[in-house]
Amino acid sequence: MPFSHHSHSGQFCEGHARDSLEEIVLTAISKGMHTFALTEHMPRHDQDRYPEEEEAGATLASALENEAAYFKEAVRLREKYGSRIALPIGFECDWIRPESLELIERSIQSYAFDFFVGSVHHVHTIPIDYDHAFYQQARDKAGGTDERLFEDYFDAQLAMLQATKPPVVGHFDLIRLKSDDPDGGFKHLPGVWDRIERNLDYVASYGATLELNLASLRKGMSEPYPQAEICEAALKKGIKFCLSDDSHGIDQVALNYHRCLPFLQRVGIGSLTFFNHSTGSGNSTDERFPALRSEQMSLAEVEKHTFWKSCEV
């Protein structure tokens, strides 16, 4: 697919990603991509530092400085390369506790972002996709089973959705990454599936776009986030999809995209949404992001895109 709506760079996500933001943009251009959204992580409170951030002495103050530098560089790159590739500028939110809303709203109000990706990486304030040790801590706090943790994750996701109404909902079922059965389904867990249906209903209620995130494939899973059964449920509710590589360096830009077409065909996703920054007024119904423009491309059109000529398989 010629689109990505979720990406990170080593320049502004130090210790978690690689390569400069400009190198990543140039890689997307070299691959013939149509749209490549820039979405570095938002600042987090000091008690929510990851181990490598603590070692580096990162603070909320330094994270706020990093965000300012990121937005400035992103705008420069859009001005420099915008005639060659669409570069909507956003951020990825981290919903950890209700107080996270303060920082999310600060980012929206401080910079002219085009959109943001709404994500949950923590349950009970513990990271659930960092490593198995943290995942086990979160599972123990949830009651000791994957099922209980899944339920708590989707409850946290609903809180994030209701509080922030993200235009794009990121890696919807990320919680399965470190679980005992990452490729297992959810329908056999009634309490979990009911929460999934509930959250999808809320996504549909305000017209958000659900991200198809291919990072799961490079992490050893067989299907994107969200997996097929969730995509099928979302389609029945009229939810639209966009595509993301969730790249963390030039080697991950458009990685595994050749594996996505068969998945889209099998699930029945007939078109993809893509975003751009409008220099005039966009067509966004979200007053927070007046410059956002969204369009649809049919799967038949996607299959004919020149991107595939340079796509590495």
Could you give the domains of the chain?
6-310 (3.20.20.140)
pLDDT of res. 77: 98
pLDDT of res. 264: 96
pLDDT of res. 72: 98
Rounded distance between C-alpha atoms, residue 58 and residue 187, angstroms: 41
CB 32 within 8 A of CB 82: no
pLDDT of res. 165: 98
DSSP 74-109: HHHHHHHHTTTSB--EEEEEE--STTHHHHHHHHHH
SS3 label, residue 137: helix
pLDDT in tens, the chain (313 residues): 599 999 999 999 877 789 999 999 999 999 999 999 999 999 999 999 999 889 889 999 999 999 999 999 999 999 999 999 999 999 999 999 999 999 999 999 999 999 999 999 999 999 999 999 999 999 999 999 999 999 999 999 999 999 999 999 999 999 999 999 999 999 999 999 999 999 999 999 999 999 999 999 999 999 999 999 999 999 999 999 999 999 999 999 999 999 999 999 999 999 999 999 998 878 999 999 999 999 999 999 998 888 887 665 4
What stretches of the chain adopt beta strand conformation (E)?
3-4, 35-36, 38-41, 89-94, 115-119, 122-123, 126-127, 168-169, 209-213, 240-244, 271-277, 292-298
Rounded distance between C-alpha atoms, residue 123 and residue 151, angstroms: 10
Backbone dihedral region for residue 19 (phi beyond 0: left; psi -120 to 50: alpha; all else: beta): left
Q: Smallest Cα–Cα separation from 50: which of 120, 102, 118, 126? A: 126
CB 38 within 8 A of CB 74: yes
pLDDT of res. 1: 56
Contacts of 150 (CB under 8 A, 6+ apart): 175, 176, 179, 186, 189, 192, 195
